Chains A and B, each alone.
Chain A
Amino acid sequence: SQTIHQWPATLVQPVGSPLSLECTVEGTSNPNLYWYRQAAGRGLQLLFYSVGIGQISSEVPQNLSASRPQDRQFILSSKKLLLSDSGFYLCAWMTEGTGGSGYTFGSGTRLTVV
């Protein structure tokens, strides 16, 4: 079966510290992968998406970066966190040929920058 794993579930980091969030998918190959962020009480903001290994598209200029070192691995990073980086981070993958219905989201990481 197809599953998506995202960790950690919660994270508290000081301002200026680095960040690494990892997302892996199982049961599929060459998926489109996405990182979204949701600030408290807000909608979801698309940060990055990837259609293949090493292919990263950035949607919003920010303090974050993404990498896809393997087909089913997507990593969100920051060298120095800002207070404004706090939020709920979600990884998602899309099943090809399903249009907007084929998105599956991970369980998310709640990041608090203090």
Chain B
Amino acid sequence: LAKTTQPISMDSYEGQEVNITCSHNNIATNDYITWYQQFPSQGPRFIIQGYKTKVTNEVASLFIPADRKSSTLSLPRVSLSDTAVYYCLVQRYNTDKLIFGTGTRLQVFP
């Protein structure tokens, strides 16, 4: 499994765009990049997944450069309710286990 590195914490203000970058230098051809969000005292929930280029859904965008050695989760116009821990994971598709790192703790201020 490719090791991921992401900032321990980030601060932002309501209405701003937040970009969280994750490094995964040893990503393999069969690996996908997946992001999860965890609120305090809750289990993580899936946000977005991608393989290359750009993926967008109603919650976030995921940018993956051509070399796939990093990825950036973009949260547009964050609100206080986006305060959470965000995990970047690199996994083989159809893997039978999900390995989490320490994540990025995002704090959104009013």
Contacts and interface: CB of A to CB of B under 8 A. Distances in A.
A100 B87 contact: no
B68 to A, nearest CB: 15
B15 to A, nearest CB: 28
Task: State the majority secondary structure of interface residues on A.
Answer: strand
A49 B93 CA distance: 17
Contacts of B102: 42-43
Contacts of A88: 41
Interface residues of B, number: 25
Contacts of B49: 99-101
Interface of B: 32, 34, 36, 41-46, 49, 87, 89, 91-103
A7 interface: no
A108 B43 contact: yes
Contacts of B44: 44, 103, 105
Contact-residue size bin, chain A (C-beta under 8 Å from the other chain)? 20 to 34
A99 B87 CA distance: 16
CB-based closest 7 A-B pairs: A105-B43, A100-B34, A44-B100, A43-B102, A99-B93, A100-B91, A101-B49
A110 B41 contact: yes
B103 A43 contact: yes
Given A99-B34, A100-B32, A100-B89, A105 B100 contact: no
